Structure 1
Amino acid sequence: MIPGSGPRKPPKPEVRGGLHQTFRALRHRNFRLFVFGQIISLIGTWMQNVAQSWLVYRLSHSELLVGTAWFCSQIPVLALGSIGGLVSDRFPRHRIVILTQALSMLQAFALGLLTLAGHVQVWHVLALATVLGTINAFDMPARQALIVQLANKEDLLNAISLNSAIFNAARIVGPAIAGLLVAALGEGVCFTINGVSFVAVIIALMAMRIPADTTRFAASSWSYLIEGFRYAWHYLPVRSTLMLLGATTLGGMPAVVLMPFFSDDIFHRGAQGLGFLMGAMGVGAVVGTLVLAHSNEVTGLRRVIVFSALSTGVTFILFSLSPRFYLSIAIMPVIGFGVMRQNAAANTLIQTLIPDQFRGRVMSLYAMTVVGLGPFGSLAAGAIAHALGPRLTVLMGGAVTVAAAWVFHAKARAVRA
């Protein structure tokens, strides 16, 4: 509201209720195409994630090597994410995403071929995971920043929430399919199906009509990069949100990385049990993001972030103490609900606060905190679990998440949604 304009509130655009309200970003043609491609491709991506973890576990039975596989797939996002953000702000984001999706398809086919041929070794998986992480370092900032171009700022919260819902709907379907396929046909089939699934998203991206980019560039790439970092550091709401995301990423990695050990060593449920646990987490994540998508307001996002982080940390602790497989399945949706509501709310808060000329670079920092810090969490999870066991490791991660939420809440007066 303009200062001094009086108590009368400006009228809000009329938005119908029900399903129309929840899915209103789909009125934009480009976003509909994006959703179509993502639904198919992300199911394949989640199949590959589960199959890759299981493959490393089957080949090594080592907590440390499973953690190392996650490290290799995520460390490039931290090391190269800032360059990816710079590229996203200097070149057309639409073309960048098409290229990165094509390269991801080739990576999946290479891993599938090695596995189906029976020649795969742990070092192959680690090397190809590093390749995929490098691709993602350029894909994530461009794809996150592209969403605003596919919808508009009025529908940004809805578009980000729907994108998160699709991501997690795939988390339900993908791991469940992967668990069945790994048990029946092996991991290589999952990798190959993932490669085929990229065809859908590439076709959808090529069918989009994106306006010409009119971005103006700084003379020096280095100064352009530093300018984006300086903006994020000095703008307290963005900096505080990124710091919370970094802490909760580190706290949440043990539960994700050590899930195969809970499924097999603790609950004796094998690959199918892993698929059910990950799928249950996806159910909660879909519900959480759809509830957020129904909202038409960006105010109050700080409260959503704090509550979600607190609830996630508490449920990590409960999961670590769970004595039964079915109780753990009941806990997983609550974890998914909290994690993805926090990430979707934080993503929206940041994107509504920043101007477009900084969007790629700041969203690269978002990717670096949500994904890029994961390698340190995964390596630490593997090493600590090797010494103390999976349960205590996940419990410690939950405690870190709760502490981070309380610190953020204590300083939250400076953050306004």
Structure 2
Amino acid sequence: MPPRLQKFLLGYSGTSLATGLQVILLPWIALAVVGLPALQLGWVQASVLLPNLVFLLFGGALADRRDSAAVAALACIGLALCHGGLLLYFSYRLPDLLVLLFYGVCLGVCTAFLQPARDNLVQRTARDRKGHTTESRVQKTVTWMMLAQYGGQAVGMLLASRFDQWGPQLLLSVQVAVLAIAAVFLFSLREKTARRPVGEKLPLTLIIEGLSQAWGRPALRELIALMAFNGFVHIGVFLVVLPLLAAQYSGAGGRGASYYATLQLAFVAGTVAATVTLLRRGQGAQPGRGILMCLLYSAALLVAISFGPTPLGLMLLCACWGAVAAASAALGRGIVQLLAPDQYRSRIISIYQLALFGSAALGALAAGALSEYAAPLTTLLWAGILSLLAFVLVLWSGALRGVQIQN
């Protein structure tokens, strides 16, 4: 493996490990430490995602205008400061709803600048020794990136499963240390020629140019619309309903965090298995068809979970859900990397991420509100029905289905 790719994967896996910890820590601090109800949990989860609606497009424009490696490294330092701030607050008193909301917003702002800059490094690390790259090479690098992401998240979730024994302070300290190390690896990827001349254009002008480029490509336009749906329905439900189910399944035993972490680990185990399979077999010449099938499988899994499986059955279904989500994410990000023009890539990546995570914030609010007044299983059933309808609509359109990749 080339040294440049190794540095990229180490930096990427470090940021993902911190994310894996965050996925468990934030909702479980809200539920078990602060004692928030379902609707307020939805607001806390949404607070991490809502800043994407404002800052993600600016993050993409900045990454196109400056060195992506430097932007990603600075975002990592910002995330480390956020976790360090909550750790310091814990040394004085327990947080409340307002503190968690402020913490979530700060995390969301830093993440909005990290995501497009970090993903834009794929093309840089996919080059061979002569500086050339191919579509198959980019696809393989994307798959390696996804494996680093899910592997890092798995390690973070394993650590977070010790929440009941270690407490949040130690785990927050781990996040700070890991993000500082990740910043060093990502910063080492900077290039003197990475800055692109864009004149004196205003950030808003750069954003409009990126939107125009994405809208002018039917396959990208359809993919981004589908990711907006996935974020609203699938990620929103996952963020809110899964911890609620974990709390219900664990009962009064006081080990809800461990079971929730186990569900997350089952999900990540599925993502790792699917990513390794893609790494060995490739993403194929028609990745759009694969994304459509993933949407159909997601609908079936959501409906199956809505029937209330046993704790072991829920773990197995979460593993299958993770495999489907990983395949869809790898295929979608591969398409974006290949279809987006080089000078607009970070901005189109930010649009893609905005569609996914911006809508996820709204989906978390909707899932929290629905779960407050109806059973969480009912929320899952409606998500499955909507996924079936979306599958029919995208299948009928055909732009995404017709994407062909030259290997």
Same fold (TM over 0.5): yes
Report the alpha carbon displacement of residue 411 of structure 1 after superposing the two structures with TM.
Answer: 1.2
For residues 328 and 283 of structure 2, what CA distance do their matches in structure 1 show? 16
Residue 330 of structure 1, aligned match among 316, 331, 337:
316
Q: 2:199, 2:191 → 1: CA distance?
A: 23
The within-5 A match list for 1:58-137 is 58=32, 59-137=34-112
Are 2:210 and 1:210 equivalent residues in the alignment?
no
1:341-393 deviation per Cα after TM superposition (whole angstroms, max 9, x unaligned)? 11110111121012101101100111101212111000000000001121101
User: How far apart are the structure 2 equivalents of 1:110 and 1:94?
Assistant: 25
Aligned residue among 201, 222, 233 for 1:220: 201
Q: Which moved more, 1:212-221 or 1:105-114?
A: 212-221
Distance in 2, Cα, partners of 1:84 & 1:40: 20
- Is 1:416 paired with 2:403? yes
What does residue 23 of structure 1 align with?
none
- 1:218 Cα shift? 4.7
1:26-65 to 2 correspondences below 5 Å: 27-58=1-32, 59-65=34-40
Counterpart of 1:358? 344
* Corresponding residue number in structure 1 for 2:130: none
SS of the equivalent of 1:402 reads helix
Q: Provide the C-alpha distance between the structure 1 equivalents of 2:212 and 2:271, rounded to a whole number of angstroms.
A: 33
Q: Which of 318, 321, 324 does residue 307 from structure 2 map onto? A: 321
Structure 1, unaligned stretches of length 5 or more? 1-26
Distance change (3 Å), C-alpha of 1:298 and 1:55: same
2:242 to 233, 246, 259: 259
Partner of 1:278: 264
Question: RMSD of the alignment, in Å?
Answer: 1.7
Q: Compared with structure 1, are the counterparts of its residues 272 and 297 closer, same or farther at alpha carbon in structure 2 (3 Å cutoff)?
A: closer
Change (3 A) 1:402 1:210: farther
Task: Give the C-alpha shift of residue 173 in structure 1.
Answer: 2.6
Q: Confirm or deny: 8 A CA contact 1:263 1:273 kept in the other structure.
A: yes
Aligned partner of 2:174 among 186, 193, 200: 193
Question: Does residue 231 in structure 1 map to residue 213 in structure 2?
Answer: yes
Deviation at 1:308, TM superposition (A): 1.1
Q: Deviations over 1:211-269 (max 9, x none)?
A: 51252315422333212111111210100001111111111121332212111124435
- Which aligned runs of 4 or more in structure 1 are off by greater than 4 angstroms? none
SS in 2 for 1:212: coil
* Amino acid in structure 2 at the alignment position of 1:294: R
Contact 1:170 1:282 in 2 (8 A): no
Alignment check: 8 A CA contact 1:286 1:337 kept: yes
| 1:158 paired residue number | 140
Letter in 1 for 2:183: I
* Alpha carbons 2:65, 2:198 under 8 Å: kept: yes
Q: Which residue, out of 386, 389, 399, partners 2:372?
A: 386
- Residues 114 and 120 in structure 1, CA contact (< 8 A), matched pair in contact too: yes
Measure the CA separation in 1 of the matches of 2:58 and 2:399.
Answer: 32
Q: Which whole-Å deviations, capped at 9, do the CAs of 1:155-202 have from their partners, x for residues lacking one?
A: 21111112112222233332232122x101222222221111112212
CA distance in structure 1 between the partners assigned to 2:297 and 2:161 by the alignment: 28
